[in-house]
Amino acid sequence: MPVTADPEFWPRPAREQKSADLRIDNARIVNVFSGEIMEAPLCAAKGRILGFSRLEAKQVVDAGGGFLLPGLIDAHTHIESSLLCPARFAEAVLPRGVTTVLADPHEIANVAGLAGLRYMLEATDGLPLNVLFMLSSCVPALPLEDSGAVLKAEDLAFLMSHPRIAGLGEMMNTAGVLSGDAEVLAKIRLALDCGKRVDGHSPGLTGSALDAYIAAGISTDHECVSAEEFQERVRRGMYILLREGSASRDLLRLLPGVTQANARRCLFCTDDRHPADILDIGHIDNHLRLAVAAGLDPVTAVRMATLNAAECYGLERIGGLAPGWRADMVLVNDLREFRASSVWAGGQLVAERGRMLEDLPHRAADDMRGTVRLAPLPDRPFALRLPSGKARVIRPFPHSLITGHEILPVRVDGQGFFDFALNPGLLKIAVLERHHASGKMSVGLLDKIYGLRGGAIATSVAHDSHNLVVAGDNDADMQQAAEAVARLGGGVVMTAGGKILAELPLPVAGLMSELPAAQVAEKLRGLLRLAREHYHIWDQADAFMTLSFLALPVIPHLKITARGLFDVDAGRFVEVAVP
């Protein structure tokens, strides 16, 4: 993880260095240390920056007056949520100027446990993208979930000292922290004893409960959804990660809270961003565009995207342009659009004009296939009896992972079962356990605001246990979609009128594809077009990520798992039917 001194880098005292591998001339260097923009040549050798003297160099680049930034850092992401295996993910983000990511592999860890963690470490080894990992703290997210694996502190212990492990990933089990659960605290202590960071995940937590959560050793949060939550956490010494993903977009809501006084505690992250957004909108470069357009000082924005993240996670000599620092650099034409014209990783030019210079080799993922094991479905698997005529309904909110908890009147047939024809717009949503073919499943209701008319959508990407989630406006299409996902070995399937309209195979742990990003993005764009044009799903969030997060029972207020409907605020399962 930390970049340590390399004895081969300094074969002689620095003042005797006569030549460089690379010199960049005519660049306006964004200095994240001093806050100024300086004009000077920059020289690099053996992957590190030599300094700002005009040395002879094997290669000289004329920057043409462009702005040279440190390589961008995503402070919290899940590579699996890009739907791309690690090498393909690197090929997508490097041309956008991202040279370092702090990745939490808890998606694949919830499917495959330690084998999944080992796969991610091996698959990122040697990539020009600097991938550091936060060990997954919540596998499963809550003890009440049905994941493919369970990871305890003793399972994580031998990995915590790995040089590319930066700490413990987002601690979603807030109840476990606050109650002093021994296993939860053991994981936190494991990271702290190694001098590493513990990431937080505490939406809605406030006051003395927040104090206790932070006092346990948790120092970051990427789940703030309001300026009030932002301020409360900054005042308590937390680092705040301003998130702009495909499902949850919080950056512009939180940006008014960023001031000259607290900006050094602020970082940027994507959390979850699918490949079409990465290729069409960008990655951390998109955060910079949004922030500067909203009035943030450009140098402050660049610092939030580089040095702040490196300092937060203890990454030595990364995140700035200075002698001895890693030569991760991105050249942009201006400080408004931040379009990367050239990207260097460890001093090597890896991308120009938005394209990789060469494809990256990737580790075969044969051992991560065949993870969707669905029990045969019973007759009428999605029948939902509601004898009271009132039901709890999940209501999605625009561009948010938080959901509403509604109680609505519903109409039932003569046997007391929910009838789509009598409840126009209301949808069924179901979660089916897919790791052990246990046959566990539950059925609930989804508010009509989501849309979805004329079919069903099923996916094996269902945070965080990644069971199979399906939603639709009729039982037959729901069943066909769910069974089709199982046959694919994972992915997304859209059905209507007894036909499969579209599918996106994700055979690696039921989460990722080995295809190039452009191909996966094109398939996903087709699915998104169908979501809008055929299913009429709302345009206030990503149709598929929204569906995936409805199964995550650690974000308020009402979610659904394979065991049933979960009231996050009360911390317990509740019946769909209201007495």
1 pLDDT higher than 60:
no
The SS3 call for residue 3 is: coil
Quote the mean pLDDT of the chain.
Answer: 95
8 pLDDT higher than 70:
no
Same domain, 250 and 153: yes
| Residue range 103-131: mean pLDDT, rounded | 98
Q: Which two tokens stand for residue 572?
A: 């317990």
Could you tell me the CA-to-CA distances from 353 to 68, 97, 340, 347 in Å, in that order?
A: 15, 10, 6, 17
| Residue range 66-80: mean pLDDT, rounded | 98
Say which CATH number the domain at 215 has: 3.20.20.140
Confidence of residue 15 (pLDDT cuts 50, 70, 90): low
543 pLDDT higher than 50:
yes
Closest CA relative to residue 430, chosen from 419, 438, 441: 441
Same domain, 440 and 569: yes
Asked whether residue 188 is domain-assigned, the answer is: yes
Asked whether residue 31 is domain-assigned, the answer is: no
Asked whether residue 215 is domain-assigned, the answer is: yes
Same domain, 549 and 445: yes
The proportion of the chain whose per-residue pLDDT surpasses 70, expressed as a percent, equals: 97
The domain boundary, picked from 294, 318, 342, lies at: 318
Same domain, 463 and 561: yes
Q: What are phi and psi of 446, to 5 degrees?
A: -120, 135
Which pLDDT belongs to residue 14? 53
| Residue range 85-97: mean pLDDT, rounded | 98
Same domain, 457 and 550: yes
Q: What is the pLDDT of residues 469-495, one digit of tens each?
A: 999 999 999 999 999 999 999 999 999
90 pLDDT higher than 60:
yes
Which pLDDT belongs to residue 18? 80
Confidence of residue 225 (pLDDT cuts 50, 70, 90): confident
Asked whether residue 32 is domain-assigned, the answer is: no
| Residue range 243-272: mean pLDDT, rounded | 95
Which pLDDT belongs to residue 401? 87
Which pLDDT belongs to residue 11? 42
Closest CA relative to residue 97, chosen from 303, 331, 293: 331
170 pLDDT higher than 80:
yes
Q: What is the pLDDT of residues 264-293, one digit of tens each?
A: 999 999 999 999 999 999 999 999 999 999
Asked whether residue 137 is domain-assigned, the answer is: yes
Asked whether residue 432 is domain-assigned, the answer is: yes
Domain count, the chain: 2
CA distance 396 to 447: 7
The proportion of the chain whose per-residue pLDDT surpasses 90, expressed as a percent, equals: 93
Asked whether residue 345 is domain-assigned, the answer is: no
- DSSP E strand boundaries for 380-473: 390-396, 403-409, 427-432, 441-446, 456-459, 468-472
What is the SS3 assignment for 139-208?
A: CCCCCCCCCCCCCCHHHHHHHHCCCCEEEEEEECCHHHHHHCCHHHHHHHHHHHHCCCEEEECCCCCCHH
The domain boundary, picked from 318, 336, 366, lies at: 318
| Residue range 233-251: mean pLDDT, rounded | 95
| Residue range 39-58: mean pLDDT, rounded | 96
The domain boundary, picked from 285, 300, 318, lies at: 318
Q: Which two tokens stand for residue 346?
A: 């460890």
Asked whether residue 78 is domain-assigned, the answer is: yes
Exposed, middle or buried: residue 207 (CB in 10 Å: 0-12, 13-18, 19+)?
exposed
Q: Which residues contact 65 (CB under 8 A, 6 or more apart)?
A: 26, 27, 28
300 pLDDT higher than 50:
yes
Same domain, 130 and 255: yes
Which domain does 92 fall in, by range?
71-318
Confidence of residue 16 (pLDDT cuts 50, 70, 90): low
Same domain, 309 and 396: no
Q: Which residues pair with 129 in a beta bridge?
A: none
Could you tell me the CA-to-CA distances from 336 to 249, 291, 329, 344 in Å, in that order?
A: 20, 9, 17, 21
Same domain, 294 and 401: no
End-to-end CA distance of the chain: 54
3 pLDDT higher than 60:
no
How many other β-carbons are positioned within 10 Å of the β-carbon of residue 462?
26
Pairing of strands 468-472, 499-505: unpaired
